[in-house]
Amino acid sequence: MTETLRIGIAGLGTVGAGVVKLLAQNGDMISARAGRRIEISAVSARDRKKDRGVDLGRFRWFDDPISLATDPGVDAIVELIGGADGAAKALAEATLSRGKTFVTANKALLAHHGAQLATLAEKSKSAFMFEASVAGGIPIVKALREGLAANRLSRVFGILNGTCNYILTKMEATGRDFADVLAEAQKLGYAEADPAFDIDGIDTAHKLAVLTSLAFGMPVAFDAIHVEGIRRVAAVDIAYAAELGHRIKLLAVARRTPHGIEQRVHPALVPLSHPIAHVDGVFNAVVAEGDFVGRTVFEGRGAGEGPTASAVVADLIDVAAGRRVPAFGVPASSLAKQPLAPMDRHVGPYYLRLTVYDRPGVIADIAAVLRDEAVSIESLLQRGRAETVPVVMLVHETEEARMRRAVEKIAALKAVTEPPRVIRREIL
């Protein structure tokens, strides 16, 4: 195992350039750790002329990424094209079916075709690695697949999208509203011109699908994820949450429940006493809870040139050193479909904000509705004296379906002047 591992990089955006820089800058150390050299043999991207801030003149260039996979001078492909289908998927299949290593940062591809590609990789005895696909530089795939492998996990959750976390952190710090902070984030380059993919929770859900599969040994089940983004989070809710000892974060949660595996992405109140509440700005974090290890927390930068390149090259070092692990921790054939819990059966505590006429008896009416659905009030804030006033409540654990019914009835009360705002809380 002293020959060089020759890699082909498909896609030369920010991360591709980062991988080129990293291998140049830390090459000697990487060789010592991998037991042999890792060298870029060829690259593929659309625009040959674009200045990427790195010297690409030494590498062979292919216009068609598939040629990288068929090239006899390439042992391993680093796929940084992106997208669930199209060129990325074709390249994955071309690479893995030839028994070559496929390393990717592509969470959409994994969320949609992860199990199928893992099966293909096993058939052809190729390595299929994707540390960079979830939580950037945090080695969370390795942690779930190897570091915590002795544990039966009960819940995995985290903050997986830096754009959303930046916006929510900024909203809290400044008291400004969502649209305003989003516009600023776009100006600063922290949010895309079309931000829907991030702020509507899709990107987070792609990553959660991968974590769920790793944590519970089941095939990725992206379509079963309940997804809500952060568009409706109001500055006033962040302020009330803070008053009640909580922060609002966009959480991705996968857990075992009596009704099956529950997967959900939504804004949630988290108590300040838990480390996840202190993960700010563009940082990501993942919490894994195991039967022997208890609670573990992993935090770091979730995106960007350096962190993502760090994860890609860690995978390459493992491959170069001959370390092999099944893509999702167990052989693809043992990935067992598990019952998936419907969101109606979700059980948890909630935050509820109402706007009501400031009249005697209003709280009594609301409390009666909650009582009828067996929803129990934990705390209640009523602020100011005006024609309409906000009423903010934390309620104890209840079933989502019950909560929904209660909120519908409350919304129909004459004294309630605006649609109620409900945000889930995560028990930590």
Interface residues with a second copy (CB under 8 A)? 18, 22, 25-26, 29-30, 32-33, 35, 131, 137-139, 142-143, 146-152, 217, 275, 278-279, 290-301, 306-307, 309-311, 313-314, 317-318, 321-326, 329-331, 334
Q: How many residues does the chain have?
A: 428
Neighbouring CB atoms inside 10 A of 21's CB total 17
Smallest distance from the beta carbon of 202 to a second copy, in angstroms? 25
CB 235 within 8 A of CB 314: no
Check if the beta carbon of residue 80 is closer than 8 Å to that of residue 45.
no
- Which structure tokens are listed for 215? 């944590």
- For residue 116, the surrounding DSSP H or E stretch is helix 107-123
Radius of gyration of the chain (CA): 24
* Bridge partners (DSSP) listed for residue 53: none
Q: To which H or E segment does residue 159 belong?
A: strand 153-159
Phi, psi (deg, nearest 5) at residue 164: -65, -40
Q: 235 is written with which tokens?
A: 């500055």
CA 28 to chain centre: 33
Q: How far is the CB of 22 from a second copy (least distance, A)?
A: 5
What are the tokens at 30?
């990487």
- H/E stretch holding 66: helix 65-70
Answer positive or negative: Cα dihedral of 113, 114, 115, 121. Answer: positive
Report strand pairing: 60-62 vs 377-382: unpaired
Q: Which is nearer to a second copy, 302 or 348 (CB)?
A: 302
- Count other Cβ atoms within 10 Å, centred on residue 372: 12
Burial of 364 per CB tally in 10 Å (0-12, 13-18, 19+) = exposed
Q: What is the DSSP string of 215-240?
A: HHT----GGG-EE--STT--HHHHHH
326 or 390: CB nearest a second copy: 326
Contacts of 197 (CB under 8 A, 6+ apart): 203
Residue with tokens 């391993």: 76
Active-site pick, 142, 207, 249, 409: 207
Phi, psi (degrees; rounded to nearest 5) at 179: -60, -40
Tell me if residue 207 is catalytic.
yes
- Read off φ and ψ for residue 281, nearest 5 degrees: 60, -135
Catalytic residues: 207
